[in-house]
Amino acid sequence: MSDKGALLEKLKGIVIDGIIEDSEGATKEALGQGVEPLEIVEKGLVPGIEEAGARFSRGDYFLPELVASAEAMQTAMAVLDPLLRAKQEARKTLGHVLLGTVEGDIHSIGKNIVGALLQAAGFVVTDLGANVAVGTFVAKARELRPNIIGMSALLTTTMVKQQQTIEALAKEGLRSGLKVMVGGAPVTGDWAKKIGADDFAEDAVAAVAVAKRLVGA
Amino acid sequence: MAHQKIVPIELKLQTRLFSPDDLKRFHLAALEIMEEVGVSMPSHKALDILAGAGATVDRQKMVAKLPRSLVEKALKAAPKRYTLGARDPGNSLDLDGKHSYLSTDGCGIETYDLWTGERRLSTKQDIEDSARLADSLPQIAFYWGPMVSAQDVPAKTRPLHELQAAFTGTAKHVQPETIITEEIAKYAVDMAAVVAGGYEELRRRPLLSVMQCAMDPLGQDGGSLEASLVAAEHGLPTGFMPMPMSCATGPATLAGNLVVTTIDALAPLVLMQTAYPGSPFFFAAAPTAIDLRLGSYTGGGPEDYLLAAGFQEICAYYGIPLSMGTMATGAKVPDWQAAVDNVFSTLASVLTTVAMMTGAGMLNGSKIMSFQQIVMDCEIYEIARRFAAGIEVNDETLAVKVIKEVGIGGNYLAHKHTRAHMREIWRPTVVDRSPLQVWEDSGRAGAFEKATEIARRTLKDYQTEPLAPEVQRELDEIIRKAEKTIRD
């Protein structure tokens, strides 16, 4: 195996095993050896995350293992994304998901798990964090033009922000072509329908299936 | 229907998970982390109080590092024993480390309708109805939650509507987990004072206590802290409920989870005792483990039962009463799984003398209320109560004289010793013991059908001691005022 092949294989292994602390170093090492950023993604990271995803689907991996794989990939992507942008190159993905917990709500663990699983499944995820104002969702939707917005709410008193965000997106003319999915402990299918969301999911695994369906993957 | 006296559990059996050395290690671990890393308390009011008492405060991160001496001083100030008051003083609960009390479970979003069976969004009426059912059941000692969210009233005053419905439905103690801003807390205290008959009477007989949800790991919600400061100022007991989930918001190891649980229950004690030394305070908790496939809340499992028993031992080490998430099955309907979860969970709490067990009546991981489940959980409580009482040994119970009298091959049916003691034998309310033929002829009516009948009859016939009309009017008035002053 060439040096390049060995470096890509090493990166793949780092992602599969979720060795977050080695990811950045190995990525920089590959770049230093002259491997193209897009090649690192497509021949190192993506095969790694796909294998991790396959292991999870088979039941060989548990959620924390998959989350670690996603974080190892994310750490590498933080190095590669600016380079890809500079070269105007894009990796193949299932789509771009904008995630956030709604205003007034600071619960984030469920959303974080959804984000990791979506990345593992091949989506690009931008996580706006918790306590995200309606206006921030709208502004980011305009700026980043994601395929999907995913909103989490854990309180019955903050769920209404999901509705307000959907209304604001429509008012700003951003709703068409944009899919909205909602989640969080108090969120039900009835609620999703009532507020005009495209779909909802009860847990992170279901969220991936929903996101795939929404982008036709 | 008659009003029945609350029947608490008094434990005679003993269970121990930890040695004194283990307990000391939990304490030292919590102290080390609170001092070195600190805890998030995103409230300037809270940080001012802690900074004034010697905590190192980072205003940028809204983090307070709590020195060991401050924590230990606060622990000394917290009362070891106090009484939860109630609208009906006969329903007062003695938190003395010797009694366990069951409440309703809470904070759900849907209800299995008692008359149609359909699953639907929860309403304010559901709160009043469930509080009334709880008022009628001697196993339920206080109303926690509210059981479900009043989704048919405006969100900004919802906690107040919920409080009104709870006070209307039951004359027992009320412990909500929804008073999460200073503004709402002030109105809630006003409402409690109206029901108690004044602020001084409320302080003397706190018929309301305030529980908050912690933000694990190592944090609290700012609004919740400020709401609790309002409650403590008026003498209402306060407590904070960590629910770290092993692998996600807590370490995978159960001992590590209990360190996080301890910190997130204990750090707010430091704040409250610094602000109001001697104010009644309780620990609360519902630690759990992640579902390794779905990342979701499990609603039951051996880890939950161990964490409950283990944390109670830590609370007993501190001498602080615990309000522990108990029952709250993950089952979607009242089935085998619901019984397994709730029996083990109840035993874990009962066998370690948890003061407050929250509680009965919810399904799908505390998301769906079932009136039948309230009744059936009370039966589990009754069995546990009898189990906890153990076996008394004395001349009368050994019955040597009686055994000699009956002799070989006789029977005890008509003996007066039997008649003297037979009523000590537990009798079911909803457990089905009917003969097969009777059961088939009844349309296979089991525990669920009996529970349905009891719940329906109670909601039709049972009257809670009503609030005086002028009290009810004042509560309406407070909510109207809140509706005007609280911004959306």
Count of CB atoms situated within 10 Å of the CB of B222? 22
Nearest CB to A203; choose among B121, B215, B296: B296
CA atoms within 13 A on the CB side of B18: 24
Please, which pLDDT band fits residue A3 given cuts at 50, 70 and 90?
confident
Per-residue tokens: B52: 């004034």
pLDDT tens for each residue of B449-488: 999 999 999 999 999 999 999 999 999 999 999 999 998 7
Question: DSSP states of B381-436 as a string?
Answer: HHHHHHHHT----SHHHH-HHHHHHH-TT---TT-HHHHHHGGGS---SSS----H
**Does B313 have pLDDT greater than 70?**
yes
Q: Chain A contact for B248, CB < 8 A?
A: yes
DSSP state of B89: G
pLDDT of residue A91: 84
- Residue, of B141 and B294, whose pLDDT is higher: B141
Nearest CB to B109; choose among A62, A113, A156: A156
Strand pairing of B9-10 and B56-58? unpaired
Per-residue tokens: B436: 């097969």
CB A6 within 8 Å of CB A13: no
- Cross-chain residue pair A186–B367, CB shorter than 8 Å: yes
Which A residues, 36 through 95, put their C-beta within 8 Å of a C-beta on chain B?
59, 62-64
Please, which pLDDT band fits residue A2 given cuts at 50, 70 and 90?
low
Place of tokens 């008659």: B2
CB B483 within 8 Å of CB B157: yes
Residues 6+ apart with CB under 8 A from B126: B111, B147, B148, B150, B369
- Cross-chain residue pair A110–B290, CB shorter than 8 Å: no
Q: Reduce the DSSP state of residue B100 to 3 states and report it.
A: strand
User: Which chain A residue lies closest to B221 (C-alpha atoms)?
Assistant: A106
- In angstroms, the separation between the Cα of residue B154 and the nearest Cα of chain A is 9
Q: Measured between alpha carbons, how far is residue B345 from residues A180, B14, B108, B323 in Å?
A: 38, 16, 19, 13
- Cross-chain residue pair B295–A113, CB shorter than 8 Å: yes
- In angstroms, the separation between the Cα of residue A57 and the nearest Cα of chain B is 10
In the predicted model, what is the mean pLDDT of chain B?
96
CB B178 within 8 Å of CB B188: no
- Cross-chain residue pair A156–B294, CB shorter than 8 Å: no
pLDDT of residue B404: 98
Nearest CB to B293; choose among A160, A185, A205: A205
- In angstroms, the separation between the Cα of residue B178 and the nearest Cα of chain A is 10
| A14-28 burial code (b ≥16 CB/10 A, e <16) | bbbebbbebbeebbe
- In angstroms, the separation between the Cα of residue A73 and the nearest Cα of chain B is 19
Among A127-141, B114-128, B290-304, the range scoring the smallest mean pLDDT is B290-304
Place of tokens 């395929």: A147
Helix (H) or strand (E) holding A97: strand A95-101
Question: DSSP states of A13-60 as a string?
Answer: HHHHHT-HHHHHHHHHHHHHTT--HHHHIIIIIHHHHHHHHHHHHHTS
pLDDT of residue A185: 86
Superfamily covering domain A95-214: Cobalamin-binding domain (3.40.50.280)
- In angstroms, the separation between the Cα of residue B59 and the nearest Cα of chain A is 18
Residue whose C-alpha is closest to residue B307's, from B326, B291, B320: B326
User: Which residue ranges make up each domain of chain A?
Assistant: 3-86, 95-214
Q: What domains can you pick out in chain B, each with its CATH number? A: 9-17+75-388 (3.20.20.480), 395-424 (no CATH)
Using CA atoms, how far apart are residues B266 and B261, in angstroms rounded to an integer? 8
B318-345 mean pLDDT: 97
**Does B13 have pLDDT greater than 90?**
no
Contacts of A186 in chain B (CB under 8 A): 109, 149, 367
Contacts of B293 in chain A (CB under 8 A): 59, 62-63, 205
**Does A1 have pLDDT greater than 60?**
no
Count of CB atoms situated within 10 Å of the CB of B53? 19
Residues 6+ apart with CB under 8 A from B422: none
Give me the total of CB pairs closer than 8 Å, taking one residue from chain A and one from chain B: 53
- In angstroms, the separation between the Cα of residue A216 and the nearest Cα of chain B is 23
Mutate to test the interface with A, among B221, B243, B294, B367 (most CBs of A within 10 A): B294
Q: Chain A contact for B215, CB < 8 A?
A: yes
Q: Reduce the DSSP state of residue A200 to 3 states and report it.
A: strand
Percent of chain A with pLDDT over 70: 99
User: Which chain A residue lies closest to B150 (C-alpha atoms)?
Assistant: A156
pLDDT tens for each residue of A44-103: 999 999 999 999 989 999 999 999 999 999 999 999 999 998 988 888 899 999 999 999
pLDDT of residue B364: 94
B172-186 mean pLDDT: 97
**Does B266 have pLDDT greater than 90?**
yes
pLDDT of residue A155: 85
**Does B329 have pLDDT greater than 60?**
yes
Mutate to test the interface with B, among A55, A56, A63, A66 (most CBs of B within 10 A): A63
Contacts of B156 in chain A (CB under 8 A): 157
Percent of chain B with pLDDT over 70: 100
Please, which pLDDT band fits residue B112 given cuts at 50, 70 and 90?
very high
Measured in degrees and rounded to the nearest 5, phi and psi for residue A35 equal -75, 135
Strand pairing of B288-289 and B245-246? parallel
CB B66 within 8 Å of CB B50: yes
User: Which chain B residue lies closest to A116 (C-alpha atoms)?
Assistant: B295
CA atoms within 13 A on the CB side of A64: 12
Using CA atoms, how far apart are residues B13 and B36, in angstroms rounded to an integer? 40
Q: Reduce the DSSP state of residue B111 to 3 states and report it.
A: strand
Using CA atoms, how far apart are residues B357 and B438, in angstroms rounded to an integer? 36
- In angstroms, the separation between the Cα of residue A81 and the nearest Cα of chain B is 28
pLDDT of residue B1: 81
Using CA atoms, how far apart are residues A113 and B10, in angstroms rounded to an integer? 42
Count of CB atoms situated within 10 Å of the CB of B442? 13
pLDDT of residue A88: 87
pLDDT tens for each residue of B267-279: 999 999 999 999 9
ipTM value: 0.83
- Cross-chain residue pair A188–B249, CB shorter than 8 Å: no
The listed CATH number (2.10.25.10, 2.40.50.140, 1.10.1240.10, 3.40.30.10) that belongs to domain A3-86 = 1.10.1240.10
Contacts of A113 in chain B (CB under 8 A): 248, 295
Contacts of A106 in chain B (CB under 8 A): 215, 221
| Encoded amino acid at B62, one letter | M
- In angstroms, the separation between the Cα of residue B155 and the nearest Cα of chain A is 5
User: Which chain A residue lies closest to B367 (C-alpha atoms)?
Assistant: A186
Using CA atoms, how far apart are residues B100 and B81, in angstroms rounded to an integer? 13
Using CA atoms, how far apart are residues A32 and A9, in angstroms rounded to an integer? 16
B223-248 mean pLDDT: 97
Contacts of B248 in chain A (CB under 8 A): 109, 113
pLDDT of residue A106: 84
Alpha-carbon torsion (B375, B376, B380, B386), positive or negative: positive
Alpha-carbon torsion (B144, B147, B153, B158), positive or negative: positive
Residues 6+ apart with CB under 8 A from B240: B211, B212, B213, B214, B220, B224, B228, B264, B265, B268, B269, B283, B284
Per-residue tokens: B15: 């269970």
Q: Measured between alpha carbons, how far is residue B19 from residues A202, B16, B254, B355 in Å?
A: 41, 8, 16, 21
User: Which chain A residue lies closest to B120 (C-alpha atoms)?
Assistant: A190
- Cross-chain residue pair A160–B292, CB shorter than 8 Å: no
Percent of chain A with pLDDT over 90: 78
